[in-house]
Amino acid sequence: MYYNGIYHEFYQYNPDGSFNPNTSYNIVWGHSVSTDLVNWITLEPAIEPDTPNDIKGCWSGSATIVSGDQPVIIYTGVIDIEKHQVQNIALPKNRSDPYLREWTKAGNNPVIQSGVPGLNSGQFRDPTTGWIGPDGLWRIAVGAQLNGYGAALLYKSEDFLNWTRVDHPLYSSNASIMFECLDFFAVLPGSNNGLDMSSAIPNGAKHVLKMGMNFGEDVYVIGVYDLKRDAFVPDTDDSRLWPRIDYGNFYASKTFFDSKHGRRIIWAWTTETDSSSDDIAKGWAGIYSFPRTIWLDNDGKRLLQWPVEEIESLRRNEINHQELELKKGDLFEIKGIDTLQADIEIDFELTSIDDADPFNPSWLFDTEKHCQEADASVHGGIGPFGLVILASDNMEEHTVVHFRVYKSQKNYMILMCSDLRRSSLTPGLDTPAYGGFFEFDLEKERKISLRTLIDRSAVESFGGGGRVCIMARVYPVSLVDDDHQPHVYAFNNGSATVRVPHLRAWSMRRAQVSHG
């Protein structure tokens, strides 16, 4: 949340050690603060499991600014070894402390219990940020398993402390056995300004319901918040076509309204994909993605995401290339940057769109499989073209972020892949080939943009102006070999020549992280 000039980041933290949080009952709310979303001060935990209402862990939840100046945290408490879950509230002990270091739990906790027919009390968690409903009362949604299906249960309150369940869910679907890590927010088509859910929402706005499904995929559906029914009505009920927030290693994402800049910001947890013994040796497990601005595309069908502009404060030593031409088989090395910590922006301009291969709609249902089969070594009509990053001298290790262009019946479909299968010689790593599709009007716009942030093991890529985003974790041997900087290349392996009108890249300084 943003409050009185300070950004607050709360996160699931395991003080017992660098293990996956799901393996411990002692989960607390870690707390860090920042004035710029880049440099952070780590504080003592905000909430710890010390009451019967959360004795087996303080799990996820949300922060809401009530009445303009009262921050409130609502979070899931686990009450026993069977992992039965309830919802609790915490308030800052001293609002005049700019860092809000200490929090006090409400005397009437738990404020929401699970006594709902058909509700699995072990799958009842992650309350959302509050919003104002049609009757002027506060609303929140809580992720749940209801009668064996995923549901966003709806609750209302006058004072944010005493809650009553609405007699129907905000939304439910058989698309998943459980909805967790919910988020619900309003967006305006074509406007990158964020909307404050605790204020009146303008006419013409759409709503987004984001759900964690299958315990690892953050999907979202765009629709309308029907004020008469007090329910969310999605534009499409076909869950197979619900897009993902990010097609890589990106889960439990959460947005908040940044009142300082009038934008909505999203970020997420990205897990380690090496071994648990590696995590113990490193002393940490799990990181946050870099904060992104998130907004709705002009056509109202897709969310767009882009790194917040503050990250540009870390840029140094810019290198710039213009009017490059990449023929089939070409590799162009990007030199002069720190290839382990870099920000690369590149535009690919198509010289012809007639060579596009035909699109098979069945690929939408298993994009990762298609990225494996149509990898960067497989020639296509237009593409693959993109970046080869973190490459060893002999290319035994490398990660590829690339595009392919396909012609569908109505338009062009762009496949974006982040292929990690040769990212490391270390055995036993999880190295998938992530991928996602986006629609593109190549008749109007011949340029396809790619931005990739490299922060050692973190590779975060944004395709088509943020239409598809892929967060990846890689562990090449070169990360621990100080004598060899890995290589970065722009490449094309398609039949059609691709032009690069602009290529800009920067080395990135380390952010400052301190303890307060």
pLDDT: which is higher, 74 or 21: 74
pLDDT of residue 21: 59
Residue 478 has pLDDT above 70, yes or no: yes
Which CATH code is given to the segment(s) 2-307? 2.115.10.20
Neighbouring residues of 156: CB distance < 8 A, sequence distance ≥ 6 = 133, 135, 137, 138, 139, 163, 164, 166
Query: In whole numbers, what is the pLDDT of the chain averaged over residues?
Result: 95
Range 65-74 average pLDDT: 94
pLDDT band at 385 (very low <50, low <70, confident <90, very high): very high
Tokens representing 249 are 């290693």
Range in 116-120, 200-204, 369-373 with the lowest mean pLDDT = 200-204
pTM score over 0.85: yes
Structure token digits, residue 161: 């402390």
Q: Which helix (H) or strand (E) holds 371?
A: helix 367-373
- pLDDT at position 68, please? 81
Domain boundaries in the chain?
2-307, 319-509
Q: Give the span between the Cα atoms of 226 and 232, in whole angstroms.
A: 6
| Separation CA 385–CA 403 (nearest Å) | 5
**pLDDT value at residue 427:** 93
pLDDT of amino acid 22 = 61
Coil, strand or helix at 364? helix
Q: Which of 40-44, 98-102, 115-119 bottoms out in mean pLDDT, i.e. has the lowest?
A: 115-119
**In what helix (H) or strand (E) does residue 430 lie, and over which residues does it extend?**
none
- Residue pair 376/491 in contact (Cβ under 8 Å)? The answer is yes
- Beta strand pairing status for 341-350 and 447-455? antiparallel
Among 360, 391, 346, residue whose Cα is nearest residue 490: 346
Residue 24 pLDDT more than 90? Answer: no
CB 247 within 8 A of CB 469: yes
What's the distance, CA 398 to chain centroid?
24
Question: Would you say residue 511 has pLDDT above 70?
Answer: yes
pLDDT digits (tens, 9 = 90+) for 277-310: 999 998 999 999 999 999 999 999 999 999 999 9
How many Å apart are CA 442 and CA 449, to the nearest integer?
Answer: 13
Does position 355 have pLDDT exceeding 80, yes or no? yes
CATH class label, 319-509:
mainly beta
Q: What is the pLDDT of residues 401-451, one digit of tens each?
A: 999 999 999 899 999 999 999 999 999 999 999 999 999 998 888 899 999
Residue 104 has pLDDT above 90, yes or no: yes
Q: Given this model, what pLDDT does residue 26 score?
A: 87
- Residue range 320-335: mean pLDDT, rounded: 98
* Distance separating alpha carbons of residues 516 and 267, to the nearest angstrom: 23
Q: From CA 83, how far away is CA 74, in angstroms rounded? A: 18
